[in-house]
């Protein structure tokens, strides 16, 4: 049985490295805050550095960013939350005194971001960590804040702990209700009301003891190394889908829609997925919706002629990588406001799909299926779509899974697909995957 590192009995701390600090929340100071990024020797696995309280993560295949502590925070609600977050971040970074020895994406001042799926939902957040450690293309660095009210005290991290035995309870949207919602959506689509809607349901996992987000992160990162393992304000997951990456004038995205999971031995599920007219149609809606909302910002937008297969531990997806060159210098958060939600997690047409989602789900998704990732002071960064995730609250984890529904969808098949997608978080919570 695989277990993540640093469980009790195998404890390891990094206090001697001088990387861990007390977690505190400090309001932005009127006087300039100092930010310094410097190169460091390889510090090992990034996730192993995280303390137990409110860890921040955006890591894929051993590279990315982890952070802890809190210098400042933005929270927002409503349709203007992306613009308000962007304005707040610009204002905050304008007051900083920055020394960046590396000048790489992810160095200097960074905020971790997580936005709600729906405009009406509370909980969208930017968090500026006290300490960030990053790795990219062979470079490793640490970024630290200093200044009025920012502590410099170091502390020892607690060992990673498992949550003990788990039991599962219904969430707000039960499996039976989900099946009925899918059937109703199919009926409406066959009547011509809309083309696609992505419907979701939730599941509660309750542990004997408070859940440690690092335990879930470690399990997800171990078994899904090609996904982005993220943790922001209690939302923990591993997403295979990159909503947006901005690097200067270049913007890119990885669109996923159309899913299959292992079935009978000897069946080439990749070929089956590529041959599925239903899945190809669902995928085309997702690519077209991204292109339509991104194109006004771009002088050029490159779209693949056909999707490829992205094979993961539990499912495989149709995948398309999109790349564009910006014409207007729009920041990552401005771009996110334009493209979210794509048809991959919303539907087509967007307005009709969002109306149907609200009517049939009758639950608050929170930050599930919303943008999650990081942004830097130049407006660059990466945002994934918060999939394969759970919202942790003490002993309870609220898991989510959703499927794209089109007129050809079968309710029983969509229920099985959602269950297959829940496997990622369930196995990581249980620590029961062999590997």
**DSSP structural state of residue 243:** E
pLDDT at 156: 57
Tokens at residue 112, please? 């971790």
pLDDT at 164: 82
Asked if 241 is an active-site residue, the reply is yes
In degrees and rounded to multiples of 5, residue 188 shows phi and psi of: -65, -40
Quote the distance between the C-alpha of residue 6 and its chain's center: 24
pLDDT at 90: 97
Match 């957040």 to its residue by tokens: 125
pLDDT tens digits along 269-289? 788 999 999 999 999 999 999
Of 84, 144, 241, 414, the catalytic one is: 241
pLDDT at 8: 35
pLDDT at 313: 82
Of 196, 282, 417, 421, the catalytic one is: 196
Q: Rounded CA gap, 331 and 166, in Å?
A: 42
pLDDT at 26: 36
Tokens at residue 340, please? 């979210």
Give all domains of the chain, ordered by start, each with its CATH number: 15-146 (no CATH), 166-430 (3.60.120.10)
pLDDT tens digits along 100-131? 999 999 999 999 999 999 999 999 999 999 99
The pTM assigned to this predicted structure is 0.90
Q: Which residues of the chain, if any, have pLDDT below 70? A: 1-31, 148-157, 263-268, 432-435
DSSP 1-67: ----TT-TTS----GGGT------B-PPPSSPEEEEEEE----S-GGGG--SSS-EEEEETTEEEEE
Asked if 278 is an active-site residue, the reply is no
Q: Name 94's Cβ contacts closer than 8 Å, sequence gap at least 6.
A: none
pLDDT at 263: 59
């Amino acid at each position: 049985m695989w277990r993540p590192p640093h469980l009790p009995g195998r404890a390891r701390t990094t206090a001697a490295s001088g990387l861990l600090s007390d977690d505190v929340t400090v309001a932005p100071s009127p006087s300039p805050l100092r930010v310094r990024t410097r190169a460091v020797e390889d510090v090992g696995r990034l996730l192993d550095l995280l303390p137990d309280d409110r860890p921040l993560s955006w890591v894929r295949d051993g590279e990315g960013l982890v952070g802890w502590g809190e210098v400042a925070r933005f929270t927002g609600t409503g349709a203007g939350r992306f613009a308000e977050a962007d304005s707040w971040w610009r204002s905050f970074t304008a007051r900083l005194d920055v020394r960046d020895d590396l000048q790489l994406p992810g160095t200097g001042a960074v905020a971790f971001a997580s936005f709600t799926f729906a405009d009406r939902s509370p909980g969208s957040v930017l968090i500026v960590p006290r300490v960030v450690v990053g790795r990219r293309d062979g470079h490793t660095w640490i970024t630290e804040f200093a200044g009025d009210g920012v502590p410099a005290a170091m502390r020892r991290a607690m060992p990673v702990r498992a949550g003990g035995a788990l039991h599962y309870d219904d969430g707000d949207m039960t499996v039976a209700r989900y099946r009925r919602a899918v059937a109703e959506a199919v009926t409406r689509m066959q009547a011509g009301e809309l083309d696609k809607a992505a419907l979701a349901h939730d599941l509660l996992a309750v542990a004997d003891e408070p859940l440690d987000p690092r335990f879930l992160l470690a399990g997800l990162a171990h078994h899904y190394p090609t996904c982005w393992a993220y943790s922001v304000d209690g939302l923990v997951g591993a997403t295979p889908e990159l909503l947006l990456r901005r690097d200067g004038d270049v913007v890119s995205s990885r669109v996923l829609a159309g899913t299959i999971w292992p079935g009978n031995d000897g069946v080439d599920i990749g070929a089956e997925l590529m041959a599925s007219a239903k899945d190809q149609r669902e995928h085309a809606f997702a690519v077209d919706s991204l292109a339509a909302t991104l194109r006004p910002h771009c002088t050029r937008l490159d779209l693949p002629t056909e999707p490829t297969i992205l094979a993961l531990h539990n499912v495989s997806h149709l995948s398309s990588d999109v790349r564009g060159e910006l014409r207007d210098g729009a920041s990552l958060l401005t771009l996110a406001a334009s493209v979210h939600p794509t048809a991959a997690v919303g539907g087509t047409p967007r307005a009709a799909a969002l109306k149907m989602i609200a009517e049939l789900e009758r639950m608050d998704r929170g930050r599930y299926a919303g943008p999650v990732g990081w942004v830097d002071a130049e407006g660059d960064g990466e945002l994934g779509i918060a999939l394969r995730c759970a919202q942790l609250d003490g002993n309870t984890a609220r898991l989510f899974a959703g499927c794209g529904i089109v007129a050809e969808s079968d309710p029983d098949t969509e229920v099985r697909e959602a269950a297959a997608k829940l496997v990622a978080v369930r196995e990581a919570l249980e620590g029961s995957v062999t590997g």
